[in-house]
Amino acid sequence: MTEETRVSKDGLVEFCVRVFEKLGVPPPDARVSTDVLVLADLRNKGSHGVARLPRYVDGLRKGLMKPTNSAKVVHKTETSALIDGGKSLGQVVGHMGMQLAIEMAKAHDMGFVTVRNSNHYGIAGYYSLMAAEEGCVGLSMTNAAPLVVPTFGRDAIFGTNPISISAPAEGDPFLLDMATSVVPRGKLEVHDREGKPLPPGWAVDSRGKGTTSPKEVLQNLATRAGGGILPLGGEGELYSGHKGYGLAMAVEVLCALLSGSPSALGTYVDESNANISHFFGAISVEAFRPLREFKRDMQSLMDSVRGSPKADGCDHIYVHGEKGFSAQRDRLKHGIPLGPKVAESLKKIGGEFGVSWVA
Amino acid sequence: MTEETRVSKDGLVEFCVRVFEKLGVPPPDARVSTDVLVLADLRNKGSHGVARLPRYVDGLRKGLMKPTNSAKVVHKTETSALIDGGKSLGQVVGHMGMQLAIEMAKAHDMGFVTVRNSNHYGIAGYYSLMAAEEGCVGLSMTNAAPLVVPTFGRDAIFGTNPISISAPAEGDPFLLDMATSVVPRGKLEVHDREGKPLPPGWAVDSRGKGTTSPKEVLQNLATRAGGGILPLGGEGELYSGHKGYGLAMAVEVLCALLSGSPSALGTYVDESNANISHFFGAISVEAFRPLREFKRDMQSLMDSVRGSPKADGCDHIYVHGEKGFSAQRDRLKHGIPLGPKVAESLKKIGGEFGVSWVA
C-alpha cells in the first residue's frame, strides 16, 4: 500500500470519463473535464490532477457544480465575450471560453473572454496551450478561494490566482503557468506532512507576521482565522512582495471585475456556490507578423536562453513548460505515477459507481 | 550644494520642453517626451524622471534617437498594429502606440500594438494610465538592456522588462507598474553609494552565485562580465525566481518576438541603435459591462483591500498606484524635489543650450 503505481494515460482517462458520466455529465463534457485533469498528471502537476476527482464528485453531488453545461454567452462583440458559467464544471466552461476566444482571434485577430459563475477549472496552462496550438499567444487566468495575504495585511484576500501565457515555437511552445503567490498551498501541505519548517518568506501567521509553521498556516486558512500564503516576492517590500500582490489583483480585475463577479472573498460563500471567475485571451500572431517567422524566432530565443552559461553547480536552464513537456513524453510511454492515497481514493470512487479500476 | 531643491512642475516642464526643442524635437513631441519624464518625478519615480535628461540629450546628439518622429505603422488591422519606431524618441513612439491602441479599442473594443526599433520609453505606467483614463484596461510593457539573469543561469539575458496594468475606478485608478526583476538597478546603485551590502537574493556574481556586493554586480554589468540582477522571486526556485524569469520572457514575447525585434541581448549593440521594443494593449471595459458598474466595483475592491486588517506593526495597506498619486498631489502643490546632482546636471544642460533654469 505504500508504493506508487503507474497507470496508463488511456486507462486513467477512460476511468475518469466513466465516473463523470455516472454523475450525469454528457460524454463530450466528461471527456474535456478528464482531459484537463489528466494533462496535469502527465505534466507532473499532480496537485491539479486526478487527485482532485473526489472533490469534483463531491461538488457534482452537492450541486456546487452542474453536470450539464449551463454556461451561456451573455454579451458578445466581434472580439469580446462575457460568459455566465451557470455553475457548470470549470473545465467545460473554460474550454468553451478559450475556444470562443480562439474563434474570434481567427476571424478578427483577437478574442477576449471573461467568465463569471464558474468552478475550479484545473491547470490554467491547459487553456493557454489551446491557443498556442492555433497560432495565437494564449492567456489564461482564474481567481480562486482566498489564501494569499496582501503586503502589510494579515487576512487572506486573494486566491493563488494563476496566470498562464503560452506562445507557439517550432518545437514545444513557451508555456508559463504560475500562481501569483510565492508557492501554492500544496507545498505547505508537503512540508506539514514531512514535519519540515517552512522557508521564511512563504507565509504569515494570524497577526500577519512571518511564520515557519505549516500546520499553523494551514489551520488558520481552514478556519479563516487570518494569515496565509505570501504573494510572489514574499513578506513586505524588501523582495517586492507588492508585485506578486499586484499581479494577484490584476487577475481579479480581468476575471472578477470585468465579468461582474465577486472577487476571491466572495467565492465559496456556501456549499452551493463557488462563484469562480476566469479570463481567456487569444492574440493571433498573424495579426502582427507571419507565424512561421515568429515560431522560428521564438525557438531561437528559447534555445539561446537554454544554451546560455549556467550558474556554478547548475547544468540546465529550463524554459517555461519544458519540465512539463518532458514529463508528458515520459508518462505517455511509461504510465502516470499515482501515490497510494490517490489510487485508493479513486478505487473507492470506482467501487461506489461501479466503474472498474484502470489495471 | 548638498541640499535638495524643489522646483515647480510647470517650470520643470518648460525647461525640458525647451531643451528638447533646441535638439530639433518639434514642440508637440518635446511636450510628450517631457510629460513622461516629469510624471515619473511627480510620482516619486525619480530614476525614470528628469535625471535621465542628460541621456536623452546624449542619445539625440549621437543619433541613437531621432529628433523628429520617424515612426511608421507597418501593418494594421482593426484591432492590431505593428509600428516601426524608426529610432524616434521612445516616449513619442510609446504615446503614438498607446493612442492607436485606445482608438482601436473605442472603435472595435480592443487594440493591441507591438513596436520595434524604438528607444527607452520612460515609465511603463504613463501609457497604461492613458488607457485607464479612456475607460479601458491598459497594458504597457517594454524590453530593455540586459541586466537580469535567468534561473540557474549566470549571464544577464533579460532587461528589467516592466509590466504595467491599469484599470479605471471611481477615484484614482488601479496602476500596477513593476519591473519583473526583484529590484531595479537603481536600488543596487543606492546600496553602492551608501556602502551597504545587498540583501541576499537580489543579485548574482559572474559565476551565477548569490552575492551581496553591489559594486561587484554593477561593475560586472557594465563590462558584461556575467552576473546581474535576479528575477522577481530571487535565486533558484525556492522562492519561485523562475516566475519572475517567466514574466520577463513573456514581455520579450509580446514586445520583441511579436514585433520581429531582437530580444534584450540585441539591444544597444552599438551607439547608434537601441532596438528597444514595446507592447501596448487597451481593452474597452464597455465591451464586457457598463463602465460605471465596473468603476464602482473596482473602487469597492480597492477600498476593501485597503480597509482589511493590517499586519502587526503596519498601519497601511497600499493599493497599486496609490503611493504615486499621493506623491503627485503633494508635488503639484509643493514642487518636485531634485537632488543636488540632478539639479546641477540640468543646469549644465541649460547652460549649453542657452535655456534658463527653472527658478
* CATH of residue A205: 3.30.60.50
- Cα-trace Rg, chain B: 20
As a whole number, mean pLDDT of residues B305-313 equals: 98
| Per-residue model confidence as pLDDT tens digits over B246-258 | 999 999 999 999 9
B213 occurs within a structural domain: yes
User: Which region, left, alpha or beta, applies to residue B122 given φ > 0 means left and ψ of -120 to 50 means alpha?
Assistant: left
> Is the confidence at residue A359, as pLDDT, over 80?
no
As a whole number, mean pLDDT of residues B42-55 equals: 95
Residue A281: which CATH number?
A: 3.30.1370.60
B297 occurs within a structural domain: no
Please tell me the distance in Å from B233's CA to the nearest CA on chain A: 5
Pairing of the two strands B203-204 and B136-142: unpaired
pLDDT of residue B1: 47
Using a CB-CB cut-off of 8 Å, the residues of chain A touching B197 are: none
As a whole number, mean pLDDT of residues A106-120 equals: 97
Nearest by CB to residue A110, choosing from B80, B174, B178, is B80
Closest chain B CA to residue A156: B308
pLDDT band at B319 (very low <50, low <70, confident <90, very high): very high
Q: Within an 8 Å CB–CB cutoff, is residue B238 touching chain A? A: yes
Model-wide pTM > 0.90: yes
Q: Within an 8 Å CB–CB cutoff, is residue B254 touching chain A? A: yes
pLDDT of residue B11: 97
Q: How many domains does chain A have?
A: 2
Mean pLDDT over the full length of chain A? 96
CB distance B167–A257 less than 8 Å? yes
Residues A166 and A193 in one domain: no
Residues A32 and A175 in one domain: yes
Residues A15 and A74 in one domain: yes
pLDDT of residue A307: 97
Domain holding A143, by residue range, is: 5-182+230-287
Residues A124 and A221 in one domain: no
Lateral strand order in the sheet of A136-142: A72-76, A80-84, A110-118, A276-284, A136-142, A163-167, A174-178
Q: Cβ distance A24 to A60 under 8 Å?
A: yes
Residues A105 and A135 in one domain: yes
B197 occurs within a structural domain: yes
CB distance A311–B265 less than 8 Å? no
Residues A134 and A282 in one domain: yes
Using a CB-CB cut-off of 8 Å, the residues of chain A touching B176 are: 243, 246-247, 249-250
B97 occurs within a structural domain: no
| Per-residue model confidence as pLDDT tens digits over A223-277 | 999 999 999 999 999 999 999 999 999 999 999 999 999 998 899 988 889 999 9
Mean pLDDT over the full length of chain B? 96
> Is the confidence at residue B208, as pLDDT, over 90?
yes
Question: Among A258, A287, A316, which residue terminates a domain?
Answer: A287
pLDDT band at A316 (very low <50, low <70, confident <90, very high): very high
Residues A118 and A171 in one domain: yes
B274 occurs within a structural domain: no
Question: Among A287, A302, A329, which residue terminates a domain?
Answer: A287
Closest chain A CA to residue B266: A301
As a whole number, mean pLDDT of residues B63-81 equals: 97
Rounded percentage of chain A residues whose pLDDT exceeds 90: 95
pLDDT of residue A335: 97
Q: Within an 8 Å CB–CB cutoff, is residue A314 touching chain B? A: yes
Q: Within an 8 Å CB–CB cutoff, is residue A335 touching chain B? A: no
User: Which region, left, alpha or beta, applies to residue B11 given φ > 0 means left and ψ of -120 to 50 means alpha?
Assistant: alpha
Give the Å distances, CA to CA, from A270 to A61, A275, B241. Answer: 15, 10, 36
pLDDT of residue A2: 62
ipTM of the complex: 0.98
| Per-residue model confidence as pLDDT tens digits over B136-185 | 999 999 999 999 999 999 999 999 999 999 999 999 999 999 999 999 99
B330 occurs within a structural domain: no
| Per-residue model confidence as pLDDT tens digits over A182-231 | 999 999 999 999 999 999 999 999 999 999 999 999 999 999 999 999 99
CB distance B260–A285 less than 8 Å? no
pLDDT of residue A156: 97
Rounded percentage of chain B residues whose pLDDT exceeds 90: 95
B221 occurs within a structural domain: yes
B38 occurs within a structural domain: no
pLDDT of residue B29: 98
Residues A126 and A84 in one domain: yes
Residues A176 and A195 in one domain: no
Q: Within an 8 Å CB–CB cutoff, is residue A301 touching chain B? A: yes
